[in-house]
A = this chain, B = another copy of it.
Amino acid sequence: MFSFECDYAEGAHELILKRLLETNLEQLPGYGEDHYCRSAKEKIKKACDCPGADVWFVAGGTQTNALVVDAMLDRFEGVVAAKTGHVNAHESGAIEYTGHKVLALPEHDGKIDAKELEEYLEEFWQNDTREHMVFPGMVYISYPTEYGTLYGKRELEEIAAVCRKFEIPLYMDGARLGYGLMSPAADLTLQEIAKLCDVFYIGGTKVGALCGEAVVFTKNNTPSHFLARIKQHGALMAKGRLLGIQFDTLFTDGLYFEISRHAIRMAGLLKEGFASRGYEFFLDSPTNQQFIVLDHRQLAWLKEKVVFSIWEKKDDAHTVVRFATSWATREEEIRELMGLLDAYR
């Protein structure tokens, strides 16, 4: 049975595997000290147009979030995030495990609102008993969000301005960054993100790599002895080459962007297919995750024939489901899915 369950159902882009094979027996130093890591870092800095950036590779997203949040916060500080933010909702308490509270703000299609953020921060700093509360020490956003939505350039600038006003860093979780940047709805570039965010990560796991995320500190603000912190979190790969070679490949000749664009094109076809057949969308996502509302009968019928994710109950009669495309989605799979929709009666 074919699957739109997620964007990590396949292995890695073939060029990555090819590169792993070619370099396999080269003897390299461990822990990210190899020349592939160095090369990948240089390419990422160039792609970000941020020569002063500091780039690190970590295996997975939750690990990256726990590591970055913990390293950037002081002990009495928490991280501000949308209620639906990954750090708040789907990381098994990994942030709290490091001792920090997630300070949840309301979400609007998965996004926080700059105005609400500012009010929250203002109220905190005006509160006379704030020493009995958790200090907001950084702001976490995801791009695209957990609902596939995107911050517009103006929105991101406003959030960044609030962060600067209150002197706390802005952190962007880019687990699916490529799928955001390549969306026709996006009006932000990687370079602008590097300018507006204090730290962000470029997701590899969901965009063509076997595993791996590239953390980018953009403001000469890497926490001291970051390598020791990575090791302390159990997140330091002995064979750092595995991450370096993958990102070096992804950032050679624009592969990362090219495969992201493909996923977005596939998502466009899928979205159009559902829309033209009269399906209701839970919200309007411009990226690779599409949230469709199905009734019980549709759900039961469809899930026998294709794999997708049950997202949440909408009401007693309807369920929100997610179809995700990825770098690996083939156009014929979309056609096959549409055939299924047409066959449904």
Contacts and interface: CB of A to CB of B under 8 A. Distances in A.
A11 B59 CA distance: 16
Interface string A117-146: 000000000001111111100000000000
A57 B7 CA distance: 21
A91 to B, nearest CB: 7
Nearest to A65: B234
Contacts of A89: 133
A229 B93 contact: no
B17 A3 contact: no
Which residue, A65, A75, A90, A224, has most C-beta atoms of chain B within 10 A?
A75
Interface in A193-221: 205-206, 210-211
Between A102, A132, A135, A205, the greatest number of chain B beta carbons within 10 A of the residue's beta carbon is seen for A132
A62 interface: yes
B129 A211 contact: no
A310 B128 contact: yes
A60 B128 contact: no
Interface stretch (A22-30, A155-163, A273-281): A22-30
Tallying the copies of this chain within the complex gives: 4
A67 B234 contact: yes
Contacts of A102: 101
A11 B20 contact: yes
A14 interface: yes
Interface in A56-92: 59-67, 70-71, 74-76, 78, 89-92
A3 B24 contact: no
B21 A234 contact: no
25 contacts: A5-B29, A6-B30, A9-B30, A10-B28, A11-B23, A12-B20, A20-B20, A59-B211, A60-B234, A60-B237, A63-B235, A76-B92, A91-B132, A91-B231, A91-B232, A92-B133, A92-B134, A92-B229, A92-B231, A101-B102, A104-B104, A130-B228, A131-B231, A206-B238, A211-B239
The 6 closest A-B pairs by CB, nearest first: A63-B234, A11-B24, A92-B231, A92-B232, A93-B134, A96-B101
Given A11-B26, A131-B225, 10 more contacts: A9-B27, A12-B20, A62-B231, A75-B232, A76-B229, A93-B232, A94-B232, A132-B228, A135-B225, A211-B238
